[in-house]
Amino acid sequence: MFFRRSFLCLSISAAIPLNAIADDIKSTVNSAADDVEFNDQFLFNTGNKIDVGRFSQGNPILPGKYQTKINVNGKAKITTEVEFKDNGTPRATPCMTLTLLKQIGINTESIEKNDSSDAAACIDIAKAFPGATANFNTSTQELDLTVPQLYVLKLPQGYVDPSLWEEGIPVAMASYDLNAWHSEGTGSNSDSAYAGLRYGANLGPWRFRSRGSLNWNEKNGSDYSNQDIYLQRDITPLKAQMLIGDSYTRGDAFDSIGLRGLRLYNDDRMLPNGLSSYAPVIRGVANSNARVSVTQSGNKIYETTVPPGAFEISDLSTTGYGNDLLVTIEEADGSKRSFSVPYSSVTQMLRPGFARWDVGAGELHDDSLHDSPKVAYATLYYGLNNTFTGYTGLQYMDTGFYAGLAGLAMNTEIGAFALDVTHSSADIDGLRTLTGQSYRLSFSKMLSATDTSLNVAAYRFSTEDYLSLHDAASLADRVKYRDRALKPGSGSQDVYNTFQRMKNQIQVNISQPLRSGKVDYGSMYVNGSWQDYWDGSRSSSNYTVGYSNAFTYGSYSVSLQRTYDEFGEQEDSVYLNVSLPFDALFGTGKRPAGFNSVNVGLNSDFKGSTSLNTTANGNTEDNRFNYSVTSSNSRTDESTLNQISGYGSYNSPYGPLSLSASASDDNQQQYSASYSGGMLLHSGGITLAPGSISDTDSLALIKASGAKGARLNNGDGEIGNSGYAIMPYLSAYRENRIGLDTSTMSADVEVKNTSTVAVPRSGAVVLVNFETDEGRSAVLELQRSDNGFIPLGADVLNEKGEIVGSVGQAGQAYVRGIEDKGTLRVVWGNGQQSACNVHYQIQPDAQKAGLTTLLTHQLCRM
């Protein structure tokens, strides 16, 4: 017996490292050069041996199709279905097609030049790219490719090949935001309800969407209004969207308008990360293999290695409206040289060679107008070079209106400027032809010496007879139907004289961090706007100054605001807020009464009216339930009002639900309830969403059959009884990591892969299928009836002869997919003495480790 136990320990200790080595084998594709030869003297007992030859090249890979994550030189590229084909060995070969190689960024020019074979044909990458190797890890479903850098394309960060953009599955959808309100006071009660509704359907590349709202109150009953309806799809070759129906135009060149008709516009989301915003192209010359680094505001934002000769960096991603760029070239001998590239940006700036455009035609969609005039428009921005971006636009309306715009944006050492002029002409019945111009100047600059950010400084001047398209439509409508506010008999000229038109407009936004060395004194900001009008109205303005900082036990902010309306009325206010996290006050883990922070806010209008609000906030550890209690005190010269209110929200797997209530000492009370949710109708049934679904959201429909209770790694969704869940808010045309947390799963199910990547098109609903094995799992402690040894690695078969598990150390067998009772056969060789049968039965009160049943003392009869 001593010899037998000693030999068992020796066998196990010898087998573990050998299996580890076999699992980590990295073999060149279609090569057995790295085969491992096992010494099976360590893996037998009483003359019974296990056939371990199938592990000589690592874990066996059966031919078939597998959802596979592909890594190239250690960097994750895509997750896609890869076919593995039989090559006469236990490890099938991955079929690397021309299409797949392009998708993962491999340069295939030499293959396409020398081979005219089908794009779906398998390519031997070891021959096509000398030095390339592949290794498939069966446990993680990852295919690791090592490819010489010579054959790897240099692509912009965040680039995803358009062939990977998924159209999604056919679905119908609905989304709803519900709110009910009840208030009561002395002698009066009020009840009302609101439902914001969105619904639509996807079929292939087409997206149908509609939106409306249902309002109800006890006095007027219910009323439904439809807000918009449209049909949309993307146009991949143009990197654009086509939309038929209701939408709003961009407001960068002309003012945004509601359009009911056809639009075609570029979609910056289809470009790699950062390329939609302005950044200069950096050019230089290296004398050797050199390291080029780019820093901005002291932070390194880019680094690469370039060969000798001229180089160009065109995929730079900058930060904010930024600061000048410092480019450093470090040669192979250690010498360095640097130069500065001016960088400031306004929203009109584009990278050299990039364009932004928008064209459309249809009706002006504005419920305030009696008529719906026909309109057409076009705008174009184009990056001419590092310094200049040119832009232009045209507008037409069938009431006799047209407008044209021309502008130029520039990046200079003293900041970024954009200057444009718009000419308009409006022929309105009863009035002369009104023509005018509007001039706009924008400026942006980061002052590096003080870190002052002048993000937006804009000035616009419009001549007296200048009209925007919306102004022209409103004026024509008033003239035609006569403004009811005017005295009877008033003419068209009177309507025009009282029509409010902007004359001057100024906007300024400044932010300033306050630092001295490494000491941070907080930050302050100044925002202001001022405008006056041609119709004689007084000017209106708004000014805000704010400061914020943090201290040992929390943070605070203060802001001052002054507003003048168009009637000259002045309003001033000051707001002070202090936030005190209890962790900082009482130490980590302290949560008095379940609350984790308190906020105190004080507001005053300098006219005797003040309010003080104190709010305690808390949440559960899983952040599913959030709650707060607020005490308010409001004072005026005539009265004092005290109020207490409570708020709670629960982020359920089917949408957030919130409740609120308040009561004040003047006998006023309020109660409300809100709920947001959505649903998808698909081939697998109806699945509820963990919140409302936006009109343009890209979604993932997660399928994990039987994995009830498994939570999504992002958001509040979890797998329901149907085996489905919804993950909203995916980024269109980007890689979205989708994962499952199986620790919360309530069913005994094996999820074979818990992480994948999806790349949806705009508005798509992509199906993400996590393969599962729903069969019951168990660990059996096996003992042979003749007291013999069951070798490590022996197969366990069910009554159908299917392999359902294997034997590990000390005769413990892990099996998956068994019934509540039955017979299992354990096999470790070819002879009759190399197998035994075990009859098992799982009792309702059987011991468990997690969700897996433990069956001890199971006798395996020879």
Comparison of pLDDT for 485 and 433, the residue scoring more: 433
Give the residue carrying structure tokens 């001998």.
333
Cα distance between residue 547 and residue 554, in whole Å: 15
Residue 32 has pLDDT above 70, yes or no: no
Instruction: Provide the pLDDT for residue 46.
Output: 43
User: What percent of the chain lies above the pLDDT cut of 70?
Assistant: 87
Instruction: Provide the pLDDT for residue 589.
Output: 59
Residue 105 has pLDDT above 90, yes or no: no
Confidence category of residue 13, pLDDT binned at 50, 70, 90: very low
Digit-coded pLDDT (tens) for 702-715: 999 888 888 888 87
Residue 727 tokens read as 């993950």
Confidence category of residue 22, pLDDT binned at 50, 70, 90: very low
Cα distance between residue 699 and residue 678, in whole Å: 12
Which residues have C-beta within 8 Å of that of residue 345, sequence separation ≥ 6?
A: 277, 278, 318, 321, 322, 411, 416, 444
365 closest CA partner among 226, 503, 260: 260
Confidence category of residue 455, pLDDT binned at 50, 70, 90: low
Cα distance between residue 517 and residue 71, in whole Å: 44
Comparison of pLDDT for 363 and 296, the residue scoring more: 363
324 closest CA partner among 351, 350, 294: 294
Digit-coded pLDDT (tens) for 565-620: 777 788 888 999 999 888 766 665 566 667 888 989 898 888 888 889 898 999 88
Instruction: Supply the mean pLDDT for the chain.
Output: 82
Confidence category of residue 55, pLDDT binned at 50, 70, 90: low
For residue 298, which amino acid is it?
A: G
Cα distance between residue 592 and residue 575, in whole Å: 27
Q: Model-level pTM?
A: 0.78
Cα distance between residue 445 and residue 416, in whole Å: 6
For residue 769, which amino acid is it?
A: N
- Please state which of the ranges 434-438, 468-472, 828-832, 842-846 shows the lowest mean pLDDT: 828-832
Which residues have C-beta within 8 Å of that of residue 215, sequence separation ≥ 6?
A: 192, 193, 194, 195, 222, 223, 224, 225
Which value, to the nearest 10 degrees, does the dihedral of the CA atoms of residues 485, 487, 491, 494 take? Answer: -70
Residue 691 tokens read as 């919140």
Residue 104 tokens read as 């993962």
Mind listing the domains of the chain with CATH numbers? 2-153 (3.10.20.410), 282-341 (2.60.40.3110), 776-861 (2.60.40.2070)
Instruction: Provide the pLDDT for residue 729.
Output: 86
The beta-strand segments (E) located in 287-324 are 290-296, 299-306, 309-313
Digit-coded pLDDT (tens) for 169-193: 999 999 998 999 888 887 788 889 9
Whether 283 contacts 311, CB under 8 Å: yes
Cα distance between residue 273 and residue 316, in whole Å: 10
Residue 103 has a CB neighbour count (10 Å cut-off) of 18
Rounded to whole angstroms, the maximal C-alpha distance in the chain is 119
Which residues have C-beta within 8 Å of that of residue 79, sequence separation ≥ 6?
A: 67, 68, 69, 70, 756, 757
What φ, ψ does residue 370 adopt, rounded to 5°?
A: -75, -40
